[in-house]
């Protein structure tokens, strides 16, 4: 396996993300890794998700777009069991997870990277990396992780506080890779980072996709997500209002402008 990352996503032709994985026929053949049907979720008395339907096939990169407060973070948190009451269906590898506790959902191979990256300031990068247990077979070894993120190797003994925002973000993702998760739920990973770092994160997403990971990207940064995603979902008021494939991006730009102001 090549440790370094693949070509810049901006260099992809329209529909390039889809071509890169063998075209639509291959996609429709790959099994559903995540299938959410009529998902409702609450925080206390607040009813936040109102019947979300979303499917992610194995090996896909799917992006969940929406304005602030649309319910994207809540959707990710509901998948991993971190909201209050949930209703509906969340199937992960065909196993119904709607009533499962978070640690059992993690064992199905789901890794959640929250917006606040959760890097411990007083621990070194290496200690942060080693924190979570292996929960599923096939987790990346530390060597593989350092191959993929040479920066983290160089900074392995630096305390969490000394890492740049980009390094912290990569560490937060790397930590999930160690657990053996194959479905990655990444919340606003590009937020607040310089364009050159955002480019590195885009390369990371493509490298993970090439390794067969399945990724749900919650993004405010449309330019970051657009070339990476095989399919797009648009959320508003706790429900999915649009969905379309990479090949349909151009014809959906007007609609996106309306919904997101991009």
Ligand X SMILES: Nc1ncnc2c1ncn2[C@@H]1O[C@H](COP(=O)(O)OP(=O)(O)O)[C@@H](O)[C@H]1O
Binding site partner of 48, from Mg ion, ligand X, none, Cβ cut-off 5-8 A by kind:
ligand X
Per-residue binding string, ligand X, 25-64, x by CB under 6 A, is ------------------x--x-x----------------
Number of helices followed by number of strands (H, E) in the chain? 11, 10
Binding site partner of 257, from Mg ion, ligand X, none, Cβ cut-off 5-8 A by kind:
none
Using CB under 6 A, pick the residue from 9, 66, 81, 180 that binds ligand X: 66
When asked if residue 73 is in the footprint of ligand X (CB under 6 A), the reply is yes
Q: Would you say 96 and 88 are in contact if contact means Cβ atoms under 8 Å apart?
A: no
Q: Output the CA–CA distances (angstroms, integers) from residue 35 to 67, 96, 119, 195, in the order listed.
A: 23, 9, 30, 33
Q: Output the CA–CA distances (angstroms, integers) from residue 5 to 59, 91, 125, 222, 230, in the order listed.
A: 17, 31, 21, 21, 19
Using CB under 6 A, pick the residue from 74, 168, 190, 246 that binds ligand X: 74
Based on CB atoms, which residue is closest to ligand X, 43 or 120? 43
Using CB under 5 A, pick the residue from 20, 60, 73, 217 that binds Mg ion: 73
Strands annotated E in 28-161: 32-43, 46-57, 61-66, 86-92, 95-96, 110-113
When asked if residue 71 is in the footprint of ligand X (CB under 6 A), the reply is yes
Which stretches of the chain bind ligand X, using CB under 6 A?
Answer: 43, 46, 48, 66, 68-74
């Amino acid at each position: 396996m090549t440790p370094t990352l693949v070509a810049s996503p901006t260099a992809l032709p329209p529909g390039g993300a889809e071509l890169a994985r063998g075209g639509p026929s291959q996609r429709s053949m790959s099994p559903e890794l995540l299938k959410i049907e009529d998902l409702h979720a609450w925080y206390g008395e607040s009813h936040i998700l109102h019947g979300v339907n979303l499917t992610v096939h194995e090996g896909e990169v799917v992006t969940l777009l929406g304005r602030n407060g649309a319910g994207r973070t809540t959707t990710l948190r509901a998948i991993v069991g971190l909201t209050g009451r949930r209703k509906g269906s969340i199937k992960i590898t065909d196993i119904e997870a709607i009533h499962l506790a978070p640690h059992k959902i993690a064992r199905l191979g789901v890794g959640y990277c929250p917006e606040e990256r959760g890097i411990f300031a007083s621990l070194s990068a290496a200690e942060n990396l080693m924190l979570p247990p292996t929960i599923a077979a096939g987790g990346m070894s530390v060597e593989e992780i350092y191959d993929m993120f040479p920066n983290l190797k160089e900074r392995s003994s630096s305390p969490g506080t000394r890492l740049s925002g980009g390094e912290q973000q990569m560490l937060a993702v790397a930590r999930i890779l160690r657990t053996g998760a194959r479905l990655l739920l990444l919340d606003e990973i590009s937020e607040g980072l310089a364009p050159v770092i955002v480019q590195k994160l885009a390369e990371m997403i493509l490298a993970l996709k090439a390794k067969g990971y399945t990724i749900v990207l919650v993004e405010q940064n449309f330019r970051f997500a657009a070339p990476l995603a095989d399919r797009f979902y648009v959320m508003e008021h706790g429900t999915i209002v649009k969905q379309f494939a990479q090949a349909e991006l151009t014809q959906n730009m007007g609609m996106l402008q309306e919904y997101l102001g991009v």
